[in-house]
Structure 1
Amino acid sequence: MLGALSAFPAMAIDMYLPGMPVMAEDLRADPGLVQLTVTVFVAGLAVGQVVAGPLSDAWGRRPLLVCGLITFVVGSLACLVVPTVGWLITARVVQSLGAAAATVLSRAVVRDHFEGSAMTRFLSTLMLVNGVATIVAPVVGGQLLGVAPWRAVFLVLAVVGAALLLLVVLRLPESLPQERRQPAHLGASLRTFAQVCRDVSYLRYVLAAALMFASLFAYISGSSFVLQEIYGLSAQQYSVVFAVNALGIALLGQANTLLVGRVAGEHTLLGVSLGIGTVAGLGVLVSTLADLPLATLLVCLFLVVSMLGPVLANATSLAMAPHASSAGAAASVQGVLQYLVGGLVASTMAALGEASAVAMGAAIFLSAAAALLVFSSRRRESGPARRRERAAGAEHAVVQGSIPSCRCGRTVAEAAPSATC
């Protein structure tokens, strides 16, 4: 259920992409205006996360999830009946606000229940679901277009939203107890944001994740033209490449669940993943500069895209670990940074035009290299901050209602101050 909630953006964007040309024709609209429905959706995701995260820290996760899902269903139904592209853009904004609440609160709920390696494993599972959704959504959308009008896509999204709303109401208990909630007023929310943003370790992890996420935006923005127009792949062949790379995100995310806490900790796995992604990004750039065989480019693309699975899971776990009482705000800042940095990279590529494979390669490499650089720039921090970071990477889990213990037999509260476990 949480995986499906976190995959709302992928479903709501990827499922209707195959129908955009038909939408423009049916609504008698300029294709650029139809493409704007994607832009406003991404902007709504950013704004919605800023609002939903802190509110959930004050009012609880469940009420905000219910409101978000209702908003998503209403927005989807509005997309189903819009008469003009202007109304479609408006409906997509409403839909995006609901999707934002779902995706940011799914991470907050995970933080409420788990910490340490258990949280990382669960977040890796969310990445698996996201990867599968990225593969399945365009296929479902394309198949629907073969048998129904483009509006049927939004009917399916409304049904999915309604089903998840029912599951949340019936099966998802509140994960944030009253005693851990923040005061429900603007000043308190701003102080919570300030507290989160003053955490240097948190900012390092979320910025590294956002920069790596930007490499995915660069790939999505440029790969269609580069692989089809320059390297000569057909639309069907390109869809296979896209699906394989999305599957790589899911598989590497799942591999991360098997490795974390058993073979290595989150910090080590994050560094290795960023290193591999940077080397692979360099391979993409060199492939485009030197006109290397297509197979070389595809292998490098697969590696850099696949690393997003373990990078997001480990970085999110490490970033959110010290922020149990402000998980909503912490998750919202991360979400906004991801889409902001990714949007800047995609906009830069759009300004450069579609004529250069080198632009895609450079954007992918520079994003991955910047992520590795940010991750590597560890400042010497004060004792308490360093102890919090070490405690965040400890190999144990906390399930609400149980007494967490370290391998030495002491509780986390007893072990963390000395950080000797």
Structure 2
Amino acid sequence: MKATPSIPLMVILMMFPQIVETLYSPALPHIAAGFEVPQAMAGQTLSIYFLAFALGVVCWGILCDHLGRRTALLLGLLLNGIAAFAALWVPSFDWLLTMRALSAFGAAVGSVVTQTMLRDSFDGIALAKVFAYMGIGIAIGPVIGMSVGGLLADLSGYRAVFLTLCLLAVLLFGICLQRLPETRLDGQLPGSIWSLSKRMVKDGHIWHYVTLVAGFNVLLFSYYLQGPFLFQRLGLSMQAFGYSGVVLALGTLIGSAVNKGLLQRGMMPQRLLQLACLLALTGAIGVYFTETHLGFLLPMAIIVAAFGIAIPNLLSQALVDYRDQAGTAGALFGLLYYLLIALGLALVSLTGQLGGSLVITALLLTLATLLGKLRSLIPLGSR
């Protein structure tokens, strides 16, 4: 009999990777100063994080089809905690990058395995509604991460952040060890990875969703990358940057609530994605013209509201045709969009400009959505 996981526990696990990253983000200026590296180089740790995260998504997604969802998740949490603890004692910036990569590799289980367990247990509109709850969890994650991270960074520097990350992984490991069920069906055997890869690479639907998921994540994480340095230029503390997560969380909560309400009224996911792109472009333009003062947080909240609308629909719809190999398909899908996120954030780090980066990303998202709509209008036999 198939076990159904606890929704609150699934929300916490979905939040985990985002908390790990946003708790770390306020420590970037302290890391730059402590290891005597330029701010742009310290910012590259975020790109390294997503590159390793992408590889972790592939590993844990495949392993959860072979070893089971529960075993894969516990191993990932264990690796994350070990890497966070080791980061406390690294002698150089290069070693810090290595530990950050291992930490990200382990944290990836919170994304791919959690999504796989949800796809095991729900489908259709029920799955979309469950992912809407995940969106609410994503809204809370940055508040916890940025607020706690900003406070820790200002009080005790980056080492306090790494210690907290280690304790968080240990706590979550203990909870999952006691309460996390196995959702993979008995006798459900993984198919050929190579055949699945070829099928997905040829699937234009998959590439469309990969582009959109990556783009909305770049919009969100550009703030976590450039925000600390922008607050420095405005003469504000990292604790203030941490508290800014409350404003962003409010935006995401509003977006998630709007998404849930419109789904219940029967609005189709594609219409919701169009609304999200319009909001994202509006917010990006607003940030571009207001980033010289703290008022830029209002249009930034519009962007995260768009994120709260878009991501639940994208994640619930992307792999509807791949339920027979949910873990591996989720791994390959995650690999593609996390590689794009890493590339996008590397470019954002090089530009050093928040507003301009947001406008370009939002324009690309709008173009991708329009192309997807045109593609859906073309008869299948004409493609």
Q: Same fold (TM over 0.5)?
A: yes
How far apart in 2 are the matches of 1:82 and 1:74? 13
Residue in structure 1 matched with residue 266 of structure 2 by the alignment? 264
Give me the whole-angstrom Cα distance separating, in 1, the residues matched to 2:37 and 2:109.
Answer: 30
Determine if the alignment matches structure 1 residue 366 to structure 2 residue 363: yes
Match of residue 204, structure 2, among 180, 200, 204? 200
Q: Deviations over 1:373-411 (max 9, x none)?
A: 24313345659xxxxxxxxxxxxxxxxxxxxxxxxxxxx
CA 279–296 in structure 1, closer or farther in 2 if over 3 Å, else same? farther
Residues 1:190 and 2:189 are matched in the alignment: no
Residue 37 (structure 1) shift? 2.9
Stretches of structure 2 lacking an aligned partner (at least 5 in a row): 1-8
Change in Cα spacing, 1:48 to 1:248, as seen in structure 2 (3 Å) is same
Pairwise mapping of residues 75-224 of structure 1 onto structure 2 (< 5 A)?
A: 75-183=83-191, 188-221=192-225
State whether residues 62 and 327 of structure 2, in contact with CA within 8 Å, keep that contact through their aligned partners in structure 1: yes
> Residue type of the partner of 1:83?
P
| Cross-structure match for 1:378 | 375
Aligned to 1:332: 331
**RMSD of aligned residue pairs (Cα, Å):** 3.2
Conserved 8 A contact 2:79-2:106 = yes
Hey, what does 1:412 align to over in structure 2? none
Q: Counterpart of 2:317 in structure 1: which amino acid?
A: L
Larger Rg: 1
Paired AA for residue 72 in structure 2: L
Contact 1:223-1:360 within 8 A present in 2 as well: no
Give the structure 2 partner of residue 410 of structure 1.
Answer: none
Tell me which moved more, 277-286 or 115-124: 277-286
Across the two proteins, how many residue pairs are aligned to each other? 371
| Inter-partner Cα distance in structure 2 for 1:217 and 1:26 | 23
- Offset of residue 240 of structure 1: 5.3
The whole-number CA distance in structure 1 between the counterparts of 2:112 and 2:287 is 37
Shift of 1:110: 0.6
- Structure 1 stretches of 5 or more lacking a match? 384-421
Equivalent residue, structure 2, for 1:247: 250
Separation (CA, whole Å) in 1 of partners of 2:228 and 2:77: 32
Q: Please identify, of 151-160 and 360-369, the stretch whose mean Cα deviation from structure 2 is larger.
A: 360-369
Percent of paired sites with the same residue: 24
Shift of 1:57: 1.9
Letter in 2 for 1:53: G
Q: Secondary structure at the match of 1:136?
A: helix
Cα offset for 1:134? Answer: 0.9
1:91 deviation in Å?
1.3
Aligned residue number for residue 307 of structure 1: 306
After the TM superposition, which of the residue ranges 332-341 and 80-89 deviates more from structure 2? 332-341
Corresponding letter in the other structure for 2:254 = L
Equivalent pair of 2:112/2:331 in contact (CA under 8 Å)? yes
CA distance 1:219–1:138, shift in 2 (3 Å): closer
Q: What are the Cα deviations for residues 119-151 of structure 1, in whole angstroms up to 9, with x where unaligned?
A: 111112122112211122121122223544532
Could you report, residue by residue, the CA deviation over 1:204-251 in whole angstroms, capped at 9, with x for unpaired residues? Answer: 33332323333334455556667885xx68557765555312331233
- Partner SS state of residue 164, structure 2: helix
TM-score, normalisation: structure 2: 0.84
TM-score (norm. length: structure 1): 0.77
Deviations 1:328-380 (A, max 9, x none): 223223323333333333333444453x84x2353243133134224313345
